[in-house]
Amino acid sequence: MKIKMLSVFALSCFLLFGGSQALAHNIWINPENHYPKVGETLEIGLGWGHTYPASRVDQEMKPGTLAYMQVLDPDGMKVEPEMISEKRYKLKIEKEGIYLVTAGIKPGVFTMTPRGRQWSDKKGVENAISCTSFSIEAKTIMIAGENDERLGAVTGQELEIIPLSNPKNIKPGDKLNLKVLFRGKAVEGVTVNATFAGYTSQGQSKDVAPHRDPKGHKPSFPVSTVTDSEGKAAVSVTEPGYWMIVVSHRSPYPDKETCDEYMHNMAFTFEVR
């Protein structure tokens, strides 16, 4: 079946990938406090863009871009945060334990042609070169108190980062152990990049959106590693502050006449004190 794109979302995609270069944005989650107390009400913001500045805010996310924002409480039950705007929410912490927060933009598809990028699958264009079906999601955890029994709980995102060590106990110089799942299964050989809010190289904020740059340039991260045969990796934490772990995974599309590959991007945020 042909993948159809709404004209409004096509505009969002133009802002997503911008111009002629094959760039991608990331979405990430910015809790006001990663380690709240029971009874506290806190704000949860959504970050969007290419760089992860000290403010954790890069660009404005266009209205209608967000597909979902979900919170699971320490019992694994969905809780509804108060919506301030599409990118800002309030949540009262009612229980001790792990809160899992996830978000994602509306998925889409684009095809490269001799005339440039077209917002359609290969069946909707002439002289298709390559087609990508993309999904961009985010995850974070908030920990109230000392109960971390659900630290490794799965939320069901297609590409998911599972922390295996409690970020609350991580100090600069330690490592955060994690596991990467793709469609529920551990995935080997995935590059795991990590950076902290405000990181710069040669005075410039660095790109945190995994992509294929047509000029061959690659984003620069202070920490990078690769998952092993069990999908596990250890990220060296060099600084206190807010951190983002970024993974990207590509897989074959089942119907090559329609599209060539899936691209899944995931950003996991946590705080080191």
Q: Is residue 125 included in any domain, yes or no?
A: yes
- Angle at the Cα of 141 from the Cα atoms of 138 and 143, rounded to 5 degrees: 170
**Per-residue pLDDT band at 234 (split at 50, 70, 90):** very high
Percentage of the chain exceeding pLDDT 90 = 81
Q: What is the CA radius of gyration of the chain?
A: 19
* Beta partners for residue 268, in sequence order: 139, 245
Residue 259 within a domain = yes
Rounded Cα distance, 212 and 206, in Å = 15
Amino acid 74 reads P
| Domain presence at residue 105 | yes
Indicate whether 214 pLDDT > 50. no
User: How far is the C-alpha of 271 from the C-alpha of 72, rounded, in Å?
Assistant: 19
The Cα–Cα gap between 163 and 143 comes to 13
Q: What is the pLDDT of residues 120-137, one digit of tens each?
A: 999 999 999 999 999 999
Beta-strand ranges (E) seen in 94-252 are 97-105, 108-113, 116-118, 130-144, 159-163, 175-182, 185-186, 191-196, 200-201, 204-205, 223-226, 232-236, 241-252
Please tell me the predicted confidence (pLDDT) of residue 156: 94
User: What pLDDT sits at residue 207?
Assistant: 61
Question: Does a structural domain hold residue 131?
Answer: yes
* b/e burial code for range 10-43 (CB count within 10 A of at least 16 → b): eebbeebbeeeebbbbbbbbbbeebebeeeeebe
Q: Is residue 184 in some structural domain?
A: no
Residue 225 has pLDDT above 90, yes or no: yes
Task: Compute the distance between CA of residue 33 and CA of residue 44 in angstroms, rounded to an integer.
Answer: 8
pLDDT of residue 7: 36
Which of 79-88, 92-101, 201-210, 217-226 comes out lowest in average pLDDT? 201-210
Asked if pLDDT for residue 180 goes beyond 80, the answer is yes
Burial (CB count within 10 angstroms: exposed 0-12, middle 13-18, buried 19+), residue 144: buried
Separation CA 251–CA 257 (nearest Å): 15
pLDDT of residue 50: 86
Cβ-contact 231, 188 below 8 angstroms? yes
pLDDT at residue number 75: 97
Q: Which of 151, 166, 153 is nearest to 273 (CA)?
A: 166
What confidence category does residue 200 fall into, taking pLDDT thresholds of 50, 70 and 90? Answer: confident
Mean pLDDT computed over 236-247: 96
Give the total number of structural domains in the chain: 1
**Least confident stretch, 114-123, 209-218, 224-233:** 209-218
Q: Which domain holds residue 140?
A: 26-157+240-272
Q: How does pLDDT run across 7-32, given as a tens digit for each residue?
A: 333 434 433 444 333 346 899 999 99
pLDDT of residue 218: 55
88-97: average pLDDT: 97
Compute the average pLDDT of residues 85-105. Answer: 97
- Tally of CB atoms within 10 A around 251: 15
